Amino acid sequence: MKYTFVIIFLTLLFSCSSQVEKKNTFNGRVLPENTCYVVNGGTERPFTGEYWNHKEEGEYICVACDSPLFSSKHKYQSGSGWPSYYDVLNGGQVKKLKDFSLGMERIEIRCNNCDAHLGHLFNDGPQPTGFRYCVNSASLKFIPVKK
């Protein structure tokens, strides 16, 4: 009985640690903690992400593949608690998919290069586009402007 318990305990211990490793990788790349947002399409709690109130000049790139996604020039305070942008860089780095989760229709945004979940797109943003790209901070890395 004692050995059975030890074997079960060790099996659970090693299987859980391998699951943690899988959660922290995406397309073979090791990611920071909180990767459930990138991998599983989760949403950060508002006003908790690293970049929701970030004001430094530069570019925001995909945490999973380093593709350029957004510029600080297009960032604005939407009041939502998530980093918000009214436009994307280079026009095609973000792909849009219909999302019917949570009992409503939304537009999910993903990295066009690696398919990492970024957040959602809404049509309540400022001009000139009228869009609000609402993004999880955990999906981004920031590259400051070189001065």
SS3 132: strand
Residue 43 forms part of a structural domain: yes
In the residue annotation, 16 being an active-site residue is answered as no
Tell if the pTM clears 0.85, that is, is over it. no
Q: Decide if 22 is inside a domain.
A: no
Residue 18 resides in a domain: no
- How many folded domains does the chain comprise? 1
Does residue 7 form part of some domain? no
Q: What is the pLDDT of residues 11-55, one digit of tens each?
A: 333 322 333 334 556 666 655 556 677 877 888 999 999 999 999
CATH classification of the domain holding 91: 2.170.150.20
76: in domain: yes
H or E stretch at 3: helix 2-23
Residue 52, pLDDT score: 95
The yes-or-no verdict on residue 132 having pLDDT over 90 is: yes
- Among the listed residues 62, 111, 114, 134, the single catalytic one is 134
- 54 domain-assigned: yes
In a domain, 103, yes or no: yes
pLDDT in tens, 92-106: 789 999 999 888 899
* 98: containing domain: 37-144
Residue 16 lies in a domain: no
Mean confidence (pLDDT) of the chain? 82
Dist. CA 115–CA 38, nearest whole Å: 9
